[in-house]
Structure 1
């Protein structure tokens, strides 16, 4: 059961990381396009700014799961280093539960915000609903929950291990 979950979590964490990287490429490319159209061609592409914001939102929320998976989001390094192994496991649970509580709030209110944004359209792209931009919160949150639990089951603290 644990191995199946960790395989699923591994796949979802890497999928979210690839998605975040693609959104970074989209954002950077659109930023360059916007600079060229605005300052070189002197005919700004107004829609590009909206898509840059859209891709940055998705980039952040899809990048968070990998940060949780690597133990980089909530860090108590000094306390962790000074604690005996039994206390370290308690710290793992405390950090996991606190992170899960925060992410569950983001999922709950993110989904509510997403549903409310259905009637809103993106400025500059009136045919696209804000639903798609706001959907990044609950989707990234669900991926983050899997990563947080994955990090609890199979902790990864490469920066701590190399620093000791």
Structure 2
């Protein structure tokens, strides 16, 4: 059961990171396009700015799960280093519970915002609903939940002193 979940977690974390990298490529390509159209062609494409912003939002919310999986989002390093192994495991559970509580709030309200945003359109892109912008919150939160549980089951930490 544990191994099956960790395989699932590796797959979802990889998919989220791939999506985050893809959104970075889209944002940087659109940024270059916007610079060329604005300063070289002197014909700015207003729609590209909105898509850059949208892709950066998706990039962040798809990249956060990797940080949770590595245990890098909520850090209690000093307390963790000074604690015996049993207390460390308790700290893992406390941090995981706190992170899951926060992510659950983001999931709940993100989905609520996405549902409410269906009737709004993006400024500059009237044909695209704000639903797609707000959807980044619950989608990223779902990936985060899997990463947090994966980190709780199989903690991965790299101490600063041992990092090469």
Q: When the two structures are superposed, what TM-score results if normalisation uses the length of structure 2? A: 0.97
Cross-structure match for 2:142: 142
The alpha-carbon deviation at position 159 of structure 1 amounts to 3.0
* 1:60 matches 2:57: no
Cross-structure match for 1:17: 17
The CA deviation string for residues 11-44 of structure 1, in whole angstroms up to 9 with x for no partner, is 0001000100110111011111111111111000
* 1:114 matches 2:110: no
The alpha-carbon deviation at position 158 of structure 1 amounts to 1.7
SS at match of 1:17: helix
Q: When the two structures are superposed, what TM-score results if normalisation uses the length of structure 1? A: 0.97
The CA deviation string for residues 41-74 of structure 1, in whole angstroms up to 9 with x for no partner, is 1000010000001000100000000000011100
SS at match of 2:128: strand
Asked if the contact 1:69–1:147 (Cα under 8 Å) also holds between the matched residues in 2, the reply is: yes
Distance in structure 1 (CA, Å) of the matches to 2:4 and 2:158: 23
**Misfit runs of 4+, over 3 Å:** none
Distance in structure 2 (CA, Å) of the matches to 1:65 and 1:101: 15
Cross-structure match for 2:89: 89
> Structure 2: 5+ residue runs without aligned partners?
none
Asked if the contact 1:77–1:160 (Cα under 8 Å) also holds between the matched residues in 2, the reply is: no
Assess, with a 3 A threshold, how the Cα gap between structure 1 residues 146 and 161 changes in structure 2: closer, same or farther: farther
SS at match of 2:44: coil
Cα-Cα RMSD: 1.0
The CA deviation string for residues 79-124 of structure 1, in whole angstroms up to 9 with x for no partner, is 1111110100000000000000000000000000000000011111
